[in-house]
Amino acid sequence: MSDGNVRTALVTGITGQDGSYLAELLLARGYRVVGTTRATGTADTWRIRHLLSRVELLALDLRDGAAVRGVVARIAPHEVYHLAAASRVDRSWERPMESLEANAGSTVHLMDAVRHEAPRARIVVASSCEIFGRPEQAPQSECTPIRPASPYGVSKAAAYWLAANYRDSHGLHVASAILYNHESPRRGEAFVTRKISMGVARIACGQATTLTLGNLDGRRDWGFAGDYMDALWRMQQLEAPCDLVVGSGVAHSVRDFCERAFAVAGLDYRAHVASDDGLLRPVDATTLVADASLARERLEWGPTVDFGGLVEMMVFADLERVRSGAGV
């Protein structure tokens, strides 16, 4: 149980990119932060290594409804941030059931636990622009039809509708943040932006000569993860829950990211980047770009890091990692 004067936040997936930035934000605002993770070993906690003495970590299988309910009852959170997910779009084609269980199943268990054990808690579910799939218009807003184009998108769409169902049917204070691509130096290397920034660093340091990618023309709305976690916190402060699109509103291609990233290191991407059709997704979204005007209005929020600043941040961090031999 928490001190009556201190708000308790339960963060699923706290050891991921988003969880690490959210934990920093919550601690700075005086919260007691309890985070769930699949494992408590140091290999999983590198992003929050500097926070380990200030957060409470719990190993929890979010697919185990009874265990989730027990944690919620014991923690008695004021706010719940559901960030844990199987987040690889490409892998979802190979393991569709894993995506459904991790993303939709965990949401059911968490909603049900809060409903029974902490019904006054406020919940934000991290959704994804992948629920829109291949939209017919750009930008996309809260009114854009949900038509996912990948198993990952389907799983996130299911979680979105489950959250809405628990809000409408059981009166839970729950909202979905429809997040567009958000990156940082803490992004996993399996994601294209980090593949690029780390590839630039290795090439610049003489450890590689070529970076092989898939679709260079796919366009995405990229922002800084720390900014988007601030939006999630602001959503929790609204008196009435409201699903919101969160993004920068500016689209760039993978090619744009490459050009800017290599330029940071004084290199020409055209001399180093190759495209391999074998890395293409079975179905790839074309242009996903946010109309976040409602979030800007309701939350008094906006990005603090632009596209160029994000790319520079990631490349500089990976150059330092490669030069120091620090790995991740």
Give the catalytic positions in this structure: 128, 130, 152
What gap in Å lies between CA 105 and CA 159, rounded to an integer?
Answer: 8
Q: Give me the helix-helix angle, 254-264 and 307-324, nearest 10°.
A: 50
| Helix ranges (DSSP H) in 62-218 | 65-75, 89-94, 96-99, 106-117, 151-170, 192-204
Do the strands 252-253 and 219-220 form a parallel or antiparallel pair, or are they unpaired?
Answer: antiparallel
What gap in Å lies between CA 279 and CA 89, rounded to an integer?
Answer: 12
Q: Which residues make beta-bridge pairs with 125?
A: 82, 176
What gap in Å lies between CA 259 and CA 196, rounded to an integer?
Answer: 10
What gap in Å lies between CA 272 and CA 114, rounded to an integer?
Answer: 50
Quick one: CA torsion of 247, 122, 54, 106, rounded to 10 degrees?
-80
Closest CA to 51 of 81, 25, 73: 25
Is the Cβ–Cβ distance between 54 and 33 less than 8 Å? yes
Q: At a CB cut-off of 8 Å and minimum separation 6, what does 87 contact?
A: 16, 152
Q: At a CB cut-off of 8 Å and minimum separation 6, what does 48 contact?
A: 14, 15, 19, 20, 23, 35, 55
What gap in Å lies between CA 291 and CA 66, rounded to an integer?
Answer: 39
